[in-house]
Amino acid sequence: MSSPRVKVLVPHLIERKNSSEVLTMVTAYDSTFASIVDEAGVDLILVGDSVATVMQGQKTTLCVSMEHMEYHVQMVASVKPKALIVGDMPFGSYQASVKDAVRNAIRLVKAGAEIVKLEGGVHVQEAIEAIVRADIPVMGHIGLTPQSVHALGGFKVQGRGDDAARVIEDAKALAAAGVFAIILEAVPASLAAQITAQLSIPTIGIGAGPDCDGQVLVLHDILGLTQNTLKFTRKYADIRSTSVDACKQFVAEVRNGSWPDDDHSFH
Ligand code: KIV
């Protein structure tokens, strides 16, 4: 019989740097999906601001508010997962001032996040240092940072050619600021490998090749619920088709009078 899973803690993740056991992180925005990914054994559940595109029907993540993130973090925290809960700091919650950054990080922790994540490199160094001083573990996020979509001119691969130096500088700035891990999004695999080798903290990749210390995907892409064709996602199931078929069957049974049947009626 396998022993019950123990709660994952931040020091465990740091110890996994350079270990053969690659870190896994999957998004969830509610209690049902949080319990599913936790049962699957992921190390981290990311309550991502991708909630905007996945759940809110938006084209970018820019509209997400602190109130939205608190609400989704609370739902995920309600299942008391063994995985660590990462709360994403939404656009506007840390850019205006360092004080805002600390106050909003504290709000996410009070909602149930055990780690906060924010996007950016050198320019968010001060905000990260201040959050770390408040004893809140911080995960960085560099490369393609979706909150900078307008400045980047679209959702594009970052760090190709001469631009690699900028991403490396961002990685070093975050490590110096005290993040315990960094997400590398949509960067060449060779650059991600180089950054991973240079840092003493774990890297977690999405569209960053196989040499990171961990990998993250959006749950709704894994399940085939989104109709995403991004190069760096993988559909491990086709729950969308299964769901459409189930609903079609319900509609057909109601229309042909076979639902509800006698077994499901009260007498
Ligand atoms: O919000 C999110 O889901 C993310 C991941 C794609 C890394 O930031």
Which atom from ligand 1 is nearest to the alpha carbon of 25? Answer: 7
Instruction: Decide whether any atom of ligand 1 lies within 6 Å of the 218 Cβ.
Output: yes
Q: Whose CA is nearest to atom 8 of ligand 1?
A: 48
Share of the chain above pLDDT 70, in %: 99
- Residue 218 exposed, middle or buried by CB count within 10 Å (0-12, 13-18, 19+): buried
pLDDT digits (tens, 9 = 90+) for 64-102: 999 999 999 999 999 999 999 999 999 999 999 999 999
Reported confidence tier of residue 1, pLDDT bands at 50, 70, 90 = low
Which atom from ligand 1 is nearest to the alpha carbon of 206? Answer: 7
Reported confidence tier of residue 256, pLDDT bands at 50, 70, 90 = very high
CA 249 to chain CA centroid, Å, is: 34
Instruction: Decide whether any atom of ligand 1 lies within 6 Å of the 111 Cβ.
Output: no
Please say whether the beta carbons of 216 and 193 come within 8 A.
no
Query: From the candidates 70, 114, 119, 185, which is the catalytic residue?
Result: 185
What pLDDT, on a 0 to 100 scale, did the predictor assign at position 113? 98
Spatial separation of the C-alpha atoms in residues 163 and 76, rounded to whole Å: 37
Q: How far is CA 148 from CA 23, 93, 163, in A?
A: 26, 14, 16
Instruction: Count CB-CB contacts under 10 A for residue 52.
Output: 20
Share of the chain above pLDDT 90, in %: 94
Q: Which residue has the tokens 């995907």?
A: 217
Question: Backbone phi, then psi, for 192, in 5-degree steps?
Answer: -60, -40
Known catalytic membership, residue 185: yes
Mean predicted lDDT score pLDDT of the chain: 96
pLDDT digits (tens, 9 = 90+) for 32-63: 999 999 999 999 999 999 999 999 999 999 99
Q: Whose CA is nearest to atom 1 of ligand 1?
A: 48
Instruction: Decide whether any atom of ligand 1 lies within 6 Å of the 147 Cβ.
Output: no
Q: How far is the CA of 138 from the centre of ligand 1 (A)?
A: 15
Q: How far is the CA of 252 from the centre of ligand 1 (A)?
A: 38
pLDDT digits (tens, 9 = 90+) for 143-175: 999 999 999 999 999 999 999 999 999 999 999
- Residue 219 exposed, middle or buried by CB count within 10 Å (0-12, 13-18, 19+): buried
Spatial separation of the C-alpha atoms in residues 109 and 117, rounded to whole Å: 11
Of the residues 42, 148, 182, 206, which should be mutated to test ligand 1's pocket, given the most ligand atoms within 8 Å of the CB?
206
Of the residues 216, 221, 231, 232, which should be mutated to test ligand 1's pocket, given the most ligand atoms within 8 Å of the CB?
216
Q: How far is the CA of 61 from the centre of ligand 1 (A)?
A: 10
Q: How far is the CA of 223 from the centre of ligand 1 (A)?
A: 16
